[in-house]
Structure 1
Amino acid sequence: MSVVVVSGTGTEIGKTVVTSAIAAAALAAGRSVAVLKPAQTGLGPDEPGDVAEVVRLAGTSVTGVELVRYPEPLAPDTAARRSGLATLAPARIAEEAARLDATHDLVLVEGAGGLLVRFDEAGNTLADAARLMAAPVLVVAPAGLGTLNSAALTAEALRARDLTPLGLVVGSWPADPDLASRCNLADLPEVSGTPLLGAVPQGAAALAPEAFRAAAASWLAPALDGTWSAQSFLRAWPA
């Protein structure tokens, strides 16, 4: 497993901080890491984007690549159309991932929003790029009410396209989780048919980078170079 697509059940649910944690854990395990952000939206040309945040949190040894940027915070296809800039085809994403894969142990491809957000006029999505890359997809999900349905739909969409769901990571686990969050922790693997591979604590991005890197492995399962145990976490937060 050298290329992994990081998608989500929606937007603003912690994809970038999860990507940062995976990168940090992989680096600590002695692996070389590249992070590819196909499309960054909602930022001007000189503003730091998601790639810069991953490098800040995980470390400057991460190779960060952003392919296109659109100024308005919209789906890439819509943002491209409104800005008059060119859209991004899945083949371009796959080509860049392959280039990075040739020189890195792990390539993380972070999507924009959810799995089926459109990248171009033809309706191509991150799922189409994942198919070209033959890459498994890690799904980032929120903890609270409503996450079961969106996680199940995302996993169903992946399997309908013959894509492999690698697992689920909770993108922002609250310090004082409510009943829905605690129940969802046990139910997410059941409804999605995919293993729970981690839970990143709420506010992790506010940690000093050194503290973030030191803790990252404890938030992720061994499949992601971490030490986190789903069983132990479930026992710590019973429903």
Structure 2
Amino acid sequence: MPVLVITGTGTEVGKTVTTAAVAATALAAGRSVAVLKAAQTGVRPDEQGDADEVARLAGAVTAAELARYPDPLAPGTAARRAGLAPVHPYEVAEAAAKLATDHDLVLVEGAGGLLVRFDAAGGTLADAARLLNAPVLIVASAGLGTLNTTELTARELRSREIGLLGVVIGSWPEEPDLASRCNLADLPEVATAPLLGALPAGAGALSPADFRTAAPGWLSPRLDGSWDAEAFRVREAP
């Protein structure tokens, strides 16, 4: 798995912190890691972007960003408003493939959900994943509403014949409600893919040292970690 594409079921689901956890866990396992942000939006030229945040939390990763647009919008819309060139899926694929020649693992982080448009032709992260023949990791929220968005994302991947590695809950609350606890069993069912981790709420606020120490415990062995999905489900089950 030289390239892994990471998408969210929407915005603010913990995608960047999950990417950092995957990177930190891979580094702890002795793998070299690069992180590619396909398109960064809503950030000024002098501000730190998502790839920089992954590097801050995870450690010695190669951080790359293809394009940056100031408005917090879908990349295609943000590019158009800024009068800047959009990012095309083939450019994402080419950049990831180049990074893969020098790294054991390349993490490609999208913007928002799987079908957020990059360009006027309707190019998406899904198109980049297809070009790369790379599996996708879905980052989902924990609570009510997540089953619908997760299943829609998984169905779209299957319809395009793109591999789905699994699902990670991007922010598991300290006091999960009934829906969140039930979703531990329902998420893998609707995705037809395993649950591969759950990050505690506020994980991104940890110090980098504490984040790197804890990250392997949030992710399953499939992602180089030690998290046990069944034990977690039994512990948190209603």
Question: Which band: TM-score by shorter chain?
Answer: over 0.9
Q: What code does the residue aligned with 1:231 have?
A: E
1:154-165 superposed matches below 5 A: 154-165=153-164
Instruction: Give 2:8's aligned residue.
Output: 8
RMSD of aligned alpha carbons: 0.5
Where 1:65 maps in the other structure, the secondary structure is strand
Shift of 1:80: 0.5
CA distance in 1: counterparts of 2:159 and 2:188, whole angstroms: 18
In structure 2, what is the Cα distance between the partners aligned to 1:38 and 1:180? 33
Encode CA deviations 1:179-231: one digit per residue, 9 max, x unaligned: 00000111000111010000000000011110000000000000000000100
Q: Which residue of 2 aligns with 1:67?
A: 66
Equivalent residue runs for 1:141-156 within 5 Å: 141-156=140-155
Structure 1 residue matching 2:46: 3-state secondary structure: coil
Percent identical = 67
Tell me, in whole angstroms, the C-alpha distance in 2 between the residues paired with 1:12 and 1:49: 15
Structure 2 Cα separation of the partners of residues 158 and 204 of structure 1 = 28
**Structural mapping, 1:81-96, within 5 Å:** 81-96=80-95
Cα displacement string for residues 106-142 of structure 1 (whole angstroms, at most 9, x for unaligned residues): 0000000000000001001000000000000000000
What 5-or-longer segments of structure 2 have no aligned partner?
none
Q: For each residue in 1:23-50, what CA deviation from the matched residue of structure 2 results, as whole angstroms up to 9, or x when unmatched?
A: 0000000000000001000011010010
Q: Which residue of 2 aligns with 1:17?
A: 17
d(CA) in 2 for partners of 1:185, 1:49:
31
Q: SS where residue 99 of structure 1 aligns?
A: helix
In structure 1, the partner of 2:28 is 28
Q: How many residues of Structure 1 are paired with residues of Structure 2 in the alignment? A: 238
Secondary structure of 2:67 counterpart: strand
Q: What's the CA shift for 1:52? A: 0.8
The aligned runs of 1:178-189 (5 Å cut-off) are 178-189=177-188
Q: Which aligned runs of 4 or more in structure 1 are off by greater than 3 angstroms?
A: none
Instruction: Give the superposition deviation at 1:66.
Output: 0.3
The amino acid of 2:16's aligned partner reads T
User: 2-side partners of 1:140 and 1:207: how far apart?
Assistant: 19
Deviations 1:37-68 (A, max 9, x none): 01000011010010110011001x10000010
Partners of 1:89 and 1:29 in 2: how far apart? 33
CA distance in 2, matches of 1:56, 1:46: 16
